[in-house]
């Protein structure tokens, strides 16, 4: 039995006198999912930073230049981004501190330790819905990237006579089964640290590409906004910023798997991760928007004339998305397990005993449902707006509880 389970078992036996505590006995911490590591195990702070970056950098990057346009230009968008970044970092450190108090190992259990079991239930539901929607967007992005790639390499027949193996539905299904599903079954999130390095390298290439394109001649530049048309426009960037920097649901599982679990090491991880995220988002969004102005598209890569360099970026974005999906599935699965535990009134010992089969079932159902919806849903624009609202909940509401 892990350290976390022992701590929770003691806490449950000591707090079973009230109705609230009775409920908490049926909501075990998913310690079997993310065990507190002993000394000499787990990830170092540097490797953990790549997990955080890979969790934060995702679907929002391609849409960020358009957010700068909607906010009224680069200056206003950077100001708004900086303001919200302060709250993002504060929320992360609060979560780490609260996690240390009770030794919790996922987001919803941090909320439970501070706000009680009913808040944990609400948090688990929110996390499950958010991660489920984000996984759908990741699969849609994968399909979009491969569609762009095939249009470039086989543009003479892709639209009219393309074989079935080039269809978006087929390519999403097959590549996801091959490259995503095997990464979704492990119990511990630090299993994904090496895949995360590959994903971050792909993102850095995109940043380099946007920068290089900015300093080469380009002709499709439109008018550049220097101020918002109305003060309401300023807040149009809020969902994108919240969604872009939302790594809070995965930050506690990552923290719990660190080799040296303390706030000093954690602050080093968070600092490096946020620096990489800020540079990546700001450079890509600012230079991308300044290149195209109001002609900017929802996907920055679509705005460029297709060439070999752009197609490499397209493939790398797909590869990066393959490595990020499992992180969100891991967190969503923990939320789903919490809900499952409540629905079946499971005790800690029972949750541990049936953990493996439960993990496999949730993973397979989750993957199949997100894959089906990704094939049906045409684009990610509306989905990102909704997910941005959920991200704001994890950044502003629950950490402040």
Model pLDDT for residues 43-75, shown as the tens digit of each residue: 899 999 999 998 888 767 888 888 888 888 888
- Residue 156's pLDDT is 66
Q: Report how far residue 329's alpha carbon sits from residue 198's, in angstroms, rounded to the nearest whole number.
A: 18
Return the pLDDT at 243: 75
- Average pLDDT for 237-246: 78
Q: What's the angle, vertex CA 99, arms to CA 95 and CA 104, rounded to 5? A: 130
pLDDT band at 397 (very low <50, low <70, confident <90, very high): low
For residue 179, pLDDT beyond 90: yes
Mean pLDDT value across residues 347-366: 86
Q: What is the DSSP letter of 43?
A: B
Question: Which pLDDT band holds residue 187 (cuts at 50, 70, 90)?
Answer: confident
Q: What is the 3-state secondary structure (H, E, C) of 227-257?
A: CCCCHHHHHHHHHHHHHHCCCHHHHHHHHHC
Q: Hey, which residues does 258 pair with through a beta bridge? A: 43
Angle between helix 168-179 and helix 308-343 axes, rounded to 10 deg: 70
Judge whether 329 and 367 are in contact, CB under 8 Å: yes
In this predicted structure, what is the pLDDT of residue 380?
Answer: 58
Name which of 193, 200, 176 is nearest 363 in CA terms: 176
DSSP code, position 293: G
For tokens 């701590």, what's the residue? Answer: 7
Q: What is the mean pLDDT of residues 291-311?
A: 87
CA distance 91 to 399: 6
- For 251-293, write each residue's pLDDT tens digit: 999 998 898 899 999 999 999 999 999 999 999 999 999 999 8
pLDDT of residue 333: 93
Confidence of residue 208 (pLDDT cuts 50, 70, 90): very high
**Residue 16 banded pLDDT, cuts 50, 70, 90:** very low
The CA distance from 84 to 87, in Å, is 5
Q: How far apart are CA 175 and CA 167, in angstroms?
A: 12
Weakest mean pLDDT among 40-44, 304-308, 329-333: 40-44
Q: Say how many C-beta atoms besides its own lie within 10 A of residue 200's C-beta.
A: 21
Confidence check: pLDDT of 170 > 70: yes
Q: Where are the alpha helices (DSSP H) in 103-192?
A: 107-115, 117-153, 158-161, 168-179
pLDDT: is 50 or 164 the higher one?
A: 50
Which of 56-70, 119-133, 134-148, 312-326 has the highest mean predicted lDDT (pLDDT)? 312-326
Quote the CA–CA distance of 399 and 248 in Å, as a whole number: 9
What number is the average pLDDT over the span 114-142? 86
pLDDT interval class at 23 (50, 70, 90): very low
Every domain of the chain and the residues it spans: 41-156+163-397
pLDDT surpasses 50 at 378: yes
The pLDDT score that the predictor gives to residue 401 is 47
Higher-pLDDT residue of 181, 108: 181
Contact 287, 208 (CB under 8 A): no
pLDDT value for 220: 65
Higher pLDDT, 100 or 386: 100
The percentage of residues in the chain with a pLDDT greater than 70, rounded to a whole number, is 81
Write the DSSP symbol of residue 150. Answer: H
Quick check: 399 pLDDT over 70?
no
Radius of gyration of the chain (CA): 21
CATH annotation of 41-156+163-397: 1.20.1740.10
- Residues in the chain, total: 401
Whether 98 and 114 have beta carbons less than 8 Å apart is answered as yes
CB 366 within 8 A of CB 135: yes
Predicted pLDDT at 150: 85
Q: In this predicted structure, what is the pLDDT of residue 17?
A: 42
Model pLDDT, residue 168: 84
Q: What is the mean predicted confidence (pLDDT) over 182-208?
A: 89
- Positive or negative, the CA dihedral 28, 349, 189, 263 is positive
State the average pLDDT for the chain. Answer: 80
Q: For position 388, what pLDDT does the model report?
A: 56
What's the sign of the alpha-carbon dihedral 67, 68, 73, 76? positive
Average pLDDT (2-25) is 41
């Amino acid at each position: 039995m892990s350290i976390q389970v022992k701590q929770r078992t003691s806490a449950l036996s000591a707090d079973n006198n009230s109705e609230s505590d009775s409920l908490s006995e049926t909501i075990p911490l998913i310690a079997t999912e993310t065990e507190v590591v002993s000394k000499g195990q787990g990830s170092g702070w540097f490797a953990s930073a790549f997990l955080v970056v890979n969790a934060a950098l995702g679907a929002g990057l391609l849409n960020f230049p358009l957010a700068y346009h909607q906010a009224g230009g680069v200056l206003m968008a950077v100001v708004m981004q900086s303001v919200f970044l302060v709250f993002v970092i504060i929320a992360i450190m609060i979560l780490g501190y609260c996690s240390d108090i009770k030794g919790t190992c996922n987001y919803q259990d941090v909320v439970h330790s501070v706000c009680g079991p009913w808040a944990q239930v609400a948090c688990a539901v929110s996390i499950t819905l958010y991660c489920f929607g984000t996984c759908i967007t990741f699969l849609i992005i994968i399909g979009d990237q491969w569609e762009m790639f095939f249009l470039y390499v086989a543009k003479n027949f892709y639209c009219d006579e393309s074989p079935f193996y080039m269809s978006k539905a087929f390519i999403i299904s097959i590549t996801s089964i091959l490259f995503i599903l095997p990464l979704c079954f492990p119990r511990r999130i630090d299993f994904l640290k090496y895949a995360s390095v590959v994903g971050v390298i792909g993102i850095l290439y995109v940043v380099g590409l946007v920068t290089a394109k900015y300093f080469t001649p380009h002709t499709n530049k439109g008018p550049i906004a220097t101020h918002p048309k109305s003060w309401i426009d300023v807040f149009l960037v809020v969902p994108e910023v919240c969604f872009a920097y939302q790594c809070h649901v995965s930050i506690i599982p990552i923290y719990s798997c660190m080799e040296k679990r303390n706030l000093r090491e954690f602050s080093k991880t968070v600092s490096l991760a946020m620096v990489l995220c800020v540079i990546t988002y700001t450079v890509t969004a600012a230079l991308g928007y300044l290149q195209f102005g109001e002609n900017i598209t929802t996907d920055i890569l679509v705005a460029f004339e297709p060439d070999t360099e752009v197609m490499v970026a397209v493939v790398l974005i797909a590869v990066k998305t393959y490595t990020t999906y499992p992180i969100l599935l891991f967190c969503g699965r923990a939320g789903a397990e919490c809900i499952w535990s409540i629905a079946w009134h499971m005790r800690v010992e029972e949750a541990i005993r049936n953990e493996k089969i439960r993990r496999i079932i949730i993973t397979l159902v989750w993957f199949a449902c997100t894959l089906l919806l990704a094939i049906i849903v045409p684009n990610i624009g509306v989905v990102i707006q909704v997910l941005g609202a959920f991200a704001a909940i994890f950044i502003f509401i629950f950490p402040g509880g």
